[in-house]
Amino acid sequence: MTSDASVSTYSQPNFQLKMSKAKWENNEEVRIFREYLRIPSVHPNVDYTPCVEFLKRQAASLSLPVDVVYLRSEASPVVIIKWLGKQPELPSIILNSHMDVVPVFPDKWIHGPFSAHLDDEGRIYGRGSQDMKCVATQYLGAIRSLIADGYQPRRTVYLTFVPNEEAGHDGMVDLVKKDYFKKLNVGFSFDEGIASEDETFSLFYAERTVWQLKFKFGGTAGHGSMLLPNTAGEKFNYVVKKMMEFRASQVKLLEEHPNLDIGDVTTVNLTRIGGGVQNNVVPASLEAYFDIRIAITEDLHAFEKQIRKWSAEAGEGIDIIFEAKEDYAEPTKIDASNPYWMAFKQGIDELGLKTRVRVFPGGTDSRFLRHLGIPALGFSPINNTPVLLHDHNEYLGADTYLRGIAIYKKLIASVANVLAYTTLQS
C-alpha cells in the first residue's frame, strides 16, 4: 500500500540534456532506440526475426555473447545477452524486457506508430516508446557506458528479451520452467514500470493476482411472452449485480482514501456477455466474463468462497470456469532483509530521485519470477511525462530517454555489486 512514508525526500538530480533536433538525431543512443522502435513487433502474429537480429547486433557491438532460446516454437524466441561478472558463482542479475507491443490504430496517430518520428521538441513517437522498448535499449546504453568506463560487475548480468508479454503466454511464463533458466542462477530482476506524470519515479514491488473467469448460467428456456421460473437471465442478474456491488465497494475505497492507488484495490470488470438465440426466446444459457485483479491484501481463498456463495444463492445450474487463475505471488521485500533492495535504494538515494513505492496495477513478467521466490522490481526511469502505454501517440522525450540511461547505469552497477549471497527460495 502506498503511503506518504514511501515517498522519499530526495531532490531530482540536475540532468539537463537539452539538445537541438540535429544533435538528438545524431546521438548514437537515440539512434539505437529509434531503430528498435521501427521494428513492428506488433500483435497479432508477431514476427520476432527483426528484433532478434537487432539484438544480436547490439550484443556484437558490446562484444558480449548472446543466446537465442526458443520456447514452444521458433515463433517465440528469447534473446539472452550475458555480461560476465567477476564472481560468476554468485546469483546473477537479470535485466528483463519484452520485444512485443500492443496493436495500433494508425489513423489515430499524428505520426506513424513505427516511424520513430522525432519532432522539434525532442518527442520520439512510436509504439513501445514507453512500453517498453525504451527500457530495453536503456539497459544496453547503460552497459555500454559502464564497459567504456572499464567497469565489470561482481555478479553476472543477463539481459533477457522475451516474446509475448502483451499476449500473456509463450514468454517468461515458459522460460522460467526451462533448465536453461535454472542454470542462470538468478538472484534479482529488473523489469518495467510505468511513467509518472509528476517529478516522482514509481517503483513497483508487487503485482495483483490475475483471475479471469466465466459464469455459465443455465435455466428454463421458452417463449418470451411467459414468466418462466428459474431462468438463466435471473441468475445472470443476481450474480452480475453482486459482482458489480463488490466493484462499487472498491471504487468507494479509492474515493475515501486518496493515499491509495488503483494497484491497492481489487478491480472487477465485466468484459464479455454471450448467449441467446433471438428476441422472443428465453435462452437456455447465458455467459458472463469477468477480468479480476486481486489486491495483495485480499485473501484469495475467502474471495473465491464469496464468489461461489453468490453463485449458489442465484440458484442451480451455474458453472464457474476459470480461464486464468494465478496463485498469489509474494511481494518483493523492500526492507533491510533484501540486500538487492538496499543496493537499489542506495543508488536511488545517491541520484537524489524522488520515488514512490507502489503495487503494479497490471501484470508484468515480474510475477513469474516472484512465484519462484526471486525478488523483482519494476522501474521505468520516466517522469514528468504523460502515461501513454497502450495509448495512441505514445512517445518519450529524448532528454528523458538519455537521462534514463544515466539512471540505469547507477542502479545496475549498485545491484550487480551486492555482496550478500542470496539463493533461490524453494
Instruction: Tell me what percent of the residues of the chain surpass a pLDDT of 70.
Output: 94
Asked if 384 and 201 touch (Cβ cutoff 8 Å), the reply is no
> What is the per-residue pLDDT for 9?
34
Q: Do residues 213 and 320 make contact, with C-beta atoms less than 8 angstroms apart?
A: yes
Determine the average pLDDT of the residues in 396-404.
97
When mean pLDDT is compared across 24-33, 154-163, 164-173, 303-312, the lowest value belongs to 164-173
Identify which has the larger pLDDT, 332 or 362. 332
Supply the pLDDT for residue 420.
66
Average pLDDT over residues 204-231: 97
**What average pLDDT does the chain have?**
93
Which grid cell sits at 361? 496495477
Per-residue confidence (pLDDT) for residue 177, from 0 to 100: 96
Residue count (the chain):
426
pLDDT (tens digit, 9 = 90+) per residue, 333-354? 999 999 999 999 999 999 999 9
The answer to whether the CB of 202 falls within 8 A of the CB of 355 is yes
pLDDT of 114 above 80: yes
Region 404-426 average pLDDT: 81
Mean pLDDT across the stretch 194-223?
97
Residue 51: which pLDDT band, with cuts at 50, 70 and 90? very high
User: Which whole number is the average pLDDT over 285-295?
Assistant: 98
Cα 56 from chain centroid (whole Å):
24
Mean pLDDT of 201-225: 97
Name the DSSP class of 155. S
Residues identified as active-site: 100, 165
Q: How confident is the model at residue 421 (pLDDT cuts 50, 70, 90)?
A: low
Q: What is the DSSP string of 249-279?
A: HHHHHHHH-TT--GGGS-EEEEEEEEE-SST
Predicted confidence (pLDDT) per residue in 116-170, tens digit: 999 999 999 999 999 999 999 999 999 999 999 999 999 999 999 999 999 878 8
The confidence score (pLDDT) of residue 19 equals: 65
Chain centroid to Cα 356, Å, comes to: 17
pLDDT of residue 6 exceeding 60, the answer is: no
- Which tens digits make up the pLDDT trace of 258-275? 999 999 999 999 999 999
Domains in the chain, ordered, with CATH?
A: 4-207+330-416 (3.40.630.10), 209-325 (3.30.70.360)
CB under 8 Å, gap of 24 or more: what pairs does 252-261 form? 259/1, 259/2, 259/3, 259/4, 260/1, 260/2, 261/2, 261/358, 261/359, 261/361
Grid coordinates of 228: 418462466
What CA–CA distances, in Å, run from 93 to 85, 141, 292? Answer: 10, 17, 31
Angle subtended at Cα 330 by Cα 328 and Cα 331, rounded to the nearest 5 degrees: 125
Indicate if the pLDDT at residue 14 is higher than 90. no
